Chains A and B, each alone.
Chain A
């Protein structure tokens, strides 16, 4: 068995364009790797074996020029299962969408296909992307390739684990409060949440509409950028997408002023995470960048704000799963009973918890105290960032206060699970782009560093992350799975 699965997306595409490798060999290599390793990892919900091979063979018939015109030709991509795909089931990790086949492709899928990407399958997630561990999938949990007894993070845990373990070089995730960056951090890969509005949400199964963004996951900054550039851009089908051009940084290629918010470096950060962060910050200093302490004073309200807004929107977005038109239906003795039993049996505990939270937050008599207040605080959090970016070019924080935790360890404590989103949810509330990249290991588990940038500065974000990546030692392959 050849080792194409070890290559980066850039390498694969380049070699394919030059005729050094066939797309079929690339896809076969990854499919074999999935067959061999995914049994213990559980990253995939659906493997698109026939479809991927057929597409690979078709691309092998392309002339060099056509291959070069498609920036992702010859490159496998995995897709989080809350992004709808024609010809493959889309379940969002929920029983209520068991065997659901979407009649259309998401906007990002259209873009991927137009760019030549070969979709190898759909990846596991917490049900409807609600969770931080991928344990809340209705189908099975996903295991962290670094240590199989630990979670990969979530909710894009399937995509993160698949990329980390070499089951695919690229994967799409979605990020509502950290669902790309946190699993990227836990699995030692690069994950990026674009500015709200940068990538079309058309075809992303909505969790919290004002926070959701689709973004790339990869093993290098360069690869993440390759995937990002294939999916970004305004879409007339998503009225919240924007055509805003990339703003240019005041200080071009640096040195940059990098803000370290004191609220993100306080209590509660594991020592190993702190140590890896310190080393990375030292590297940034040695590159000539200026690190300055800043304050984002409303940070402590972020989790409360997030856990009002996100469930409120979710309670509404998930109302359509009522058993009437598609998905699961459990017959009842009348209409209301059909609704109740369908939703009772179709949704898992975490989804029900959030629907309840959100329904309560929007109820008459509570709306002002909860939802409206949360929206006001959201404005304050956004303002914090506006002010900070008046002083600095980027903000750097740990992605998470900890490393991947053992499966089952937070089952009884949803609040602790929610608090894990503390460093990531603010970017969603403010609508700004964020990127997590691996900066070292703590007791054998990856540590992620998060870059935050002003709205629509994805290009600069990739540039900064790549500069840091270049001076850091490369992480080894994850230690929890066999790489022979």
Chain B
């Protein structure tokens, strides 16, 4: 509740499917090519062209729908959504209107208290993307001209429409995070919000405590095309505050579309919905209805990979702390790296610690990802085994890991080349220990008088002389024993 109003949020998420070719023609969908280099008569809307449906896009959409617990309809159809804009070559978008591919799904989110609850998905449908306008000038209002790039026109999208079940900006963030994590395991999209391969519009309304009507009838503001999950959250937060202030002042909320300004964290009015388009939807006569065999749908469902919910349970059963598990689950590449390493290495908690601390740190520093890490899972496991065998101390291992990243060499090779092998020969260490004790008798006296820190200094001296290669617990033990023996 916010000033006596309940926050009502519904999200529309567009996800670009990473098919090789566009939804209705054979043009490439590759991001970042030079403008209009990936176009053909079909996606340019030339006279006489006809769409041919990309089956792979439907397969990916069905995978997505099933992963989001939707009911996939054996019968759906395509419709034309009509409006004029230079990024829309045919002046209609082929979409699905009243008979979408799938309906009635949900995404589970965990609130702060750790409980999971379901956010409904109203529908998922397939449609083609529009092109892109590049305005010459600072803002659309004073642009001196616009250049049309139709590389994106016709790229397949799924639109995932939630029920208005979200009750805060934080829940919206959780929903988007979980949605993205789920889709990431399906290999159907790049899901990069900054590149537009995942886009989100948020519908925000406030419900007065006494309101009994339909949620749909509340005046709602649509925040368009925000480029990160964080900004969706910020946009909703701002909008909730703005609307509640308006209402508190006795003003009414206008149904409108608003943009989000990243720099100020505020939203601004783009157009009023009262003057909205009549899209004049009607069934696309150039495409037969989409009829899917139940067996085919079931087959896709049976082939789904493990998804976040199941992965969480699995990690918990292996004793991975839930905080660490969450990091792995939300980053598919990290999880896959983890799985590959865990297949080779039994101590999964140690593995997790190494991955999420040192490996992560080095990946970030080097701009690498888990999927393309210079140190692959078998190499990491090799390093961990050197620790287990006592060849390396934990501290040495960190150093070795860094050198492995830099050189691309295996742990054994780095150890060999740098002569880094840990000294476990007690007699060799004892000689150094005796020398150190001789030179620092005052410190020994301090230690004997009860200053524990003095021992740490002595350990440090031994390590220094052995260039860090002495096994630390052995050094510790020898120091204590020797001092104790001298006293006797």
Contact = CB atoms under 8 A, between A and B. Distances in A.
B46 A103 contact: yes
B50 A319 contact: no
B51 A209 contact: no
A212 B79 CA distance: 19
A371 B79 CA distance: 14
A239 B91 contact: no
A363 B90 contact: no
Interface in A347-379: 359, 362-364, 367, 371
B9 to A, nearest CB: 26
Contacts of B46: 102-104, 326
A92 B148 CA distance: 26
A111 to B, nearest CB: 15
A202 B148 contact: no
A329 B49 CA distance: 21
Interface in B25-81: 41, 44-53, 80
A335 B84 CA distance: 10
A81 to B, nearest CB: 11
B266 interface: no
A103 B41 contact: yes
Given A202-B49, A320-B45, A209 B91 contact: no
B285 interface: yes
A412 B439 CA distance: 119
B305 interface: no
A239 B48 contact: no
B84 A322 contact: yes
A84 B48 CA distance: 7
A316 B48 contact: no
Given A104-B41, A210-B285, A363-B278, A238 B50 contact: yes
Contacts of B45: 320, 325
A335 B88 CA distance: 14
A209 B280 contact: no
B91 A322 contact: yes
A contacts with B: majority SS: loop
A102 B44 CA distance: 12
B285 A313 contact: yes
Nearest to B282: A362
Given A240-B288, A371-B282, A320 B41 contact: no
Given A103-B41, A205-B48, A320 B282 contact: no
Nearest to A375: B283
B92 interface: yes
A367 B50 contact: no
Contacts of A119: none
Of B47, B52, B90, B92, which is in contact with the most chain A CB atoms at under 10 Å from its CB?
B47
Contact of A97 (B47, B51, B288): B47
A316 B82 contact: yes
A210 B285 CA distance: 5
A312 interface: yes
Interface residues of B, number: 28
Contacts of B52: 236-237, 239
B472 interface: no
B224 to A, nearest CB: 19
Contacts of A240: 50, 285-288
A239 B278 contact: no
A240 B50 CA distance: 10
Contact of B90 (A92, A315, A320): A320
A315 B53 CA distance: 23
A367 B278 CA distance: 11
A237 B80 contact: no
B89 interface: yes
B50 A239 contact: yes
A316 B282 contact: yes
Nearest to B284: A209
Contacts of B47: 84, 90, 92, 97, 100, 102, 205-206, 320
B303 to A, nearest CB: 27
Nearest to A364: B278
Q: Which of A236, A315, A316, A359 has the most CB of B within 10 A?
A: A316
Contacts of A83: 48
B87 to A, nearest CB: 9
10 contacts: A104-B48, A202-B49, A237-B50, A316-B92, A319-B91, A320-B91, A324-B89, A325-B44, A326-B46, A364-B278
Going nearest first, the 5 A-B pairs with the smallest beta carbon separation are A319-B91, A209-B285, A210-B285, A362-B280, A203-B48
Interface of A: 83-84, 90, 92, 97, 100, 102-104, 106, 201-206, 208-210, 236-240, 312-313, 315-316, 319-320, 322, 324-326, 335-336, 339, 359, 362-364, 367, 371
